[in-house]
Amino acid sequence: MTTLVRTTELPATLLEAGFSEAASRALGEWRDDPDWVRALRAHGWEAWEDIPMPGKTTEGWRRSDLRFLALDRVRPATALPERAAGFDALPRALTEQVDMSFAAGGVLVQRDGGTAYGEIVDDLREQGVIFTDLHTALREHRDLLEAHFMQLVPARWQPGPPSNAGKFEALNAAFFNGGSFVYVPPNTTVTLPVRSIFWASDPAAGFFPRSVVIVDRGARLVYLDEYRSVEAPEGAPAVFGSGVVELYIKDGARLDYVTTQEWSPSTGGFLTQRVTLGRDAYVNWVVVALGGLCSRLTADVLLQGKGTKADLLGLAFGERTQVFDIHTLQDHLSPYTDSDQLFKTALRDRARLAYEGLIYIRPGSYGSNGYQANKNLLLDDTAKADSIPMLQIHDNDVRCTHSSATGPVDEHHVHYLMTRGLPRPQAERMVIQGHFEPVIGRIAVEELKDTIRDAVDRRIGDR
Amino acid sequence: MAAAETLERPVGTDGRVPTLQIEGLHVAIDGHEIIHGIDLAVNKGEVHAILGPNGSGKSTLAYALMGNPRYEITEGTVTFNGEDVLEMEPDERARAGLFLCFQYPTSIPGVQMGNFLRLAVKARFGDKAVKTFRRELQEKLRLLKMDQSYMQRYLNEGFSGGEKKKAEILQMAMLKPEIAIMDETDSGLDVDAFKVVADGVNAMRGADRGFVVITHYNRMLEYIKPDFVHVLIGGKIVKEDGPELAVQVDQHGYGPIIEEVRARGEEVELPEEGGATYAREEPAARHHDPFRSHGRTAI
Ligand SMILES: Nc1ncnc2c1ncn2[C@@H]1O[C@H](COP(=O)(O)OP(=O)(O)OP(=O)(O)O)[C@@H](O)[C@H]1O
Ligand SMILES: [Mg+2]
């Protein structure tokens, strides 16, 4: 247990809007960065300054819409929250949105980068499972973190193939504030889901969580990551932030992972998540993107070890003027690696999707299979989807396919259901739900499936 | 309400208003007329067989009756229990008690069979029916020798030909229509599947249900004895009679009937060889303690 008493008082530099080197340093001091971390934070700032702001001509950013950015009007941080006595003592604005109906192995709720509530079952703690906030972990678990923190998503990540991320990951490296750390020791099985919930509650402050998850050799973990934010006031710029998650799945380990992005409709943000897989490791990852005004989501899987397997599934439902900018990477770095990706979206009103997915087969990754499919339902003529599935293959002994399909609800399907007595709105609803079912069905937590189904259902609205 | 209007129309053999009454029906697809004036009256308790060569318009008639928007009714009337069917949406027709077993059932990814059936039964019979749903479903599954696991599968997805047809019969059995149109439910079935399907249909026969059985084969009609047989060629019913007509077609084919029609001085439009069977391309309460009884530690 940490005995450090920290002030929740925010240093003056962080009360001012805008990002600066001084602010980055002040943040590090305020959050008690150990020495070895200070250098990383400093690198983050340098990279942020060096990497040009992506624009309409930047590879991987052509269809992105960054007009929501108002960096000089965002404060880098805000005061840390009081600890709540229990989950129910947290503000209603948050608890109302979170599904707590199912059993968990641990829950960590962070508000504006600080822990507002967190518990782990003793059983897991006794088995050596570590679940804590990032800052505590950086101080207390250097042994585990030095080799993992900012390694998969480094402070300086020069954009270029196969990934064009870098800029906003650097901003996160300079201003990371909050995040969680999960460690599962070798051959330990954690099937009760471990949950992190990140809530940005001050619309004037940026949110920059950075998390590290390590599933050690032969271990298993079910991990849920949830992102939420408050609405921006009328006339104010969009709530802004950039989150990073680094996930390490060691040899023979398995991770079942669900990311839920349910930012408020007036939030513009970035979320970059990378998973690396050791030999014979497996990840089943479901990304659920429902919130945000403009959101860029980067989901990368590095099939590093021989014989690894990754299932990457995703769904997004856009309404009003929401923009989803989704980038996925299946990077095959070893022989006999299998990746299977399925991303499904539905868009209504004037919502827009820009999807880019790359299967990258490195030389020597013989015997590998890479599959990728993106399917988009346009529920209104005004909705738009740009889908760019890409293959780069540098080994000939592999099997790869990719496909993308965008179109309205299939009238044949609707008609068939109607001939069984379902009125048109109900028939359409059923077809739309059915569109997402192959993704929702893969969520590792049974109860969460219904929560996601309901969330999708609400968005379908009255057809 | 519509009774006064229907009284002026020809009535069924025993003086009842036919449950399904088709008069002077013309149907076109993409502006091209396929059905050139059909009259047909079907009562509950009756089994009508429609025979005809490939491409003669049998499925077109069935689709038009079910309200498929691609099939345009250019002339004629159709009533169901005296009500104007042509004014109804397909779902209204279904809830009124009209059912079509599709020749080529659509598969719908992501829609679970069980979930769908429950909603369909609810749509037709109301909330009450949901109570007895489970039990009835079990019963019908047993009758059709279908495994419970079908209920978790996506509608017709990856089903074999026989499984699709069984799934259609299952839907019919659960929705208990007044008039069921069965479009070649017997084709593409092996002997065992055929028998299960035929038994399933026979089990549903009764005074409260009428059938229109569209088929190529006498095999089906030997199981399900028709009361009336209609021969449809070139978009017209060219001959109608009792069950013996089916035997006659089975033995001699359509040749003699076509000659007979030509001898009457009528024209018969014959579909081109091979271009007949039209298979549509298939497009592709909150609990706030998540730890329950576990001990926990603050982190
Ligand atoms: N959806 C459609 N689009 C285009 N043409 C169609 C369509 N449906 C039917 N047709 C045409 O209408 C004619 C009648 O077809 P229909 O399917 O009704 O015949 P059928 O008697 O059911 O044949 P089969 O015994 O092969 O099932 C054929 O010429 C067919 O090509
Ligand atoms: Mg047909």
B298 inside domain:
no
ipTM for the predicted complex? 0.88
**For ligand 1, what atom is nearest to the CA of residue B52?**
21
B271 inside domain:
yes
pLDDT of residue A447: 87
B130 inside domain:
yes
B86 inside domain:
yes
Cross-chain Cβ contact B111/A422 below 8 Å? no
**Strand ranges, E, within A278-428:** 282-289, 294-303, 309-318, 323-332, 338-347, 352-361, 369-378, 384-393, 399-407
Q: Which of B44, B51, B50, B91 shows the shortest CA–CA distance to B67?
A: B91
The yes-or-no verdict on residue A462 having pLDDT over 90 is: no
pLDDT of residue A136: 98
Q: Tens digit of pLDDT for each residue in B145-202?
A: 999 999 999 999 999 888 999 999 999 999 999 999 999 998 878 888 889 888 988 9
B6 inside domain:
no
8 Å CB contact between B174 and B117? yes
pLDDT of residue B13: 52
Chain A: residue nearest B98 by CA?
Answer: A419
Give the distance (Å) from ligand 2 centre to CA of residue B50. Answer: 11
Name the closest-CA residue to atom 26, ligand 1.
B277
Amino acid sitting at position B261: V
Give the predicted TM-score (pTM) of the model.
0.88
Any ligand 1 atom below 6 A from CB of B56: yes
How many CB atoms are closer than 10 A to CB B253? 11
pLDDT of residue A209: 98
B15 inside domain:
no
What share of chain A has pLDDT > 90, as a percent? 90
Give the torsion sign (CA, A126, A128, A133, A137). positive
Amino acid sitting at position B36: H
Distances from the Cα of B86 to the Cα of A424, B83, B142, B179, angstroms = 17, 9, 36, 16
Ligand nearest to the CA of B38: 1
8 Å CB contact between A310 and A339? yes
Residue A430 Cα, gap to closest chain B Cα (Å): 7
Mean pLDDT of A192-201: 98
pLDDT of residue A164: 84
The yes-or-no verdict on residue B3 having pLDDT over 70 is: no
Specify which residues A260 forms β-bridges with. Answer: A226, A288
Among the residue ranges A3-12, A162-171, A329-338, B11-20, the one predicted with the least confidence is: A3-12
Structurally, chain B folds into a number of domains equal to 1
Distances from the Cα of B81 to the Cα of A99, B3, B5, B6, B180, angstroms = 50, 9, 12, 9, 14
8 Å CB contact between A417 and A253? no
> In angstroms, rounded to a whole number, what is the distance separating the alpha carbons of residues B137 and B143?
10
Q: Tens digit of pLDDT for each residue in B49-99?
A: 999 999 999 999 999 999 999 999 999 999 999 999 999 999 999 999 999
Q: Tens digit of pLDDT for each residue in B259-291?
A: 999 998 888 887 655 444 433 333 334 445 667
pLDDT of residue B219: 82
Name the closest-CA residue to atom 17, ligand 1.
B59
Rg (CA), chain A: 21
Any ligand 1 atom below 6 A from CB of B52: yes
> In angstroms, rounded to a whole number, what is the distance separating the alpha carbons of residues A358 and A302?
12
What's the domain range around B166?
20-288
pLDDT of residue B286: 44
Our separate counts of H helices and E strands in chain A read 10, 19
Any ligand 1 atom below 6 A from CB of B235: no
B7 inside domain:
no
Residue B282 Cα, gap to closest chain A Cα (Å): 9
B12 inside domain:
no
8 Å CB contact between B151 and B123? no
Do the strands B20-29 and B71-80 form a parallel or antiparallel pair, or are they unpaired?
Answer: antiparallel
Amino acid sitting at position A151: Q
Q: Which of A8, A246, A235 shows the shortest CA–CA distance to A116?
A: A8
pLDDT of residue A187: 98
**For ligand 1, what atom is nearest to the CA of residue B61?**
18
Residue A435 Cα, gap to closest chain B Cα (Å): 6
CATH number of B176's domain: 3.40.50.300
Do the strands B179-183 and B210-215 form a parallel or antiparallel pair, or are they unpaired?
Answer: parallel
Q: Tens digit of pLDDT for each residue in A404-418?
A: 999 999 999 999 999
Q: Tens digit of pLDDT for each residue in B156-170?
A: 999 988 899 999 999
Choose among A103, A132, A434: nearest Cβ to B110.
A434
The yes-or-no verdict on residue B40 having pLDDT over 60 is: yes
